[in-house]
Amino acid sequence: MRKLKSDLRTLEWMSEYRTIHDPFLGKDVQISDNLTDRLRGKYANGPMLPNGEPEFGWHQFDTPPIQHRAADRIDALVKALQFIADGYDNHDVNHIDFRVKAYQVALDALETIKESS
């Protein structure tokens, strides 16, 4: 089971923040690094504040519709995978309710993908 848990943590690559060194502040800061935000043309300006917002707000620009559809698909799939990973972490995988819900989450993700085609 330990190996499985370490494999499930591979979802952490989709972290919403990453650390960079800010030469003006002379320290490491967290910046937004959300793939689906970037696909939608939404970028954070400045380091992330404790309230979860960037220091200088968000910059938004127009992107092709296919990028928005791709972001919707990624969000749906990540949500389904995260639900399943959380179930394994919580040892819920033997409960019938978890199995039914995992099936429903997978179907919802697939339906979202079909709708965004």
pLDDT digits (tens, 9 = 90+) for 45-89: 888 888 888 888 888 889 999 999 999 989 888 888 888 878 777
What is the Cα–Cα distance from 49 to 10, expressed in whole angstroms? 26
What is the Cα–Cα distance from 92 to 29, expressed in whole angstroms? 36
Element (H, E) at 98: helix 96-115
What is the Cα–Cα distance from 4 to 88, expressed in whole angstroms? 9
Cα–Cα nearest to 105, from 72, 73, 75, 83: 83
**More confidently predicted of 16 and 71:** 71
> Domain residues of the chain, as ranges?
2-115
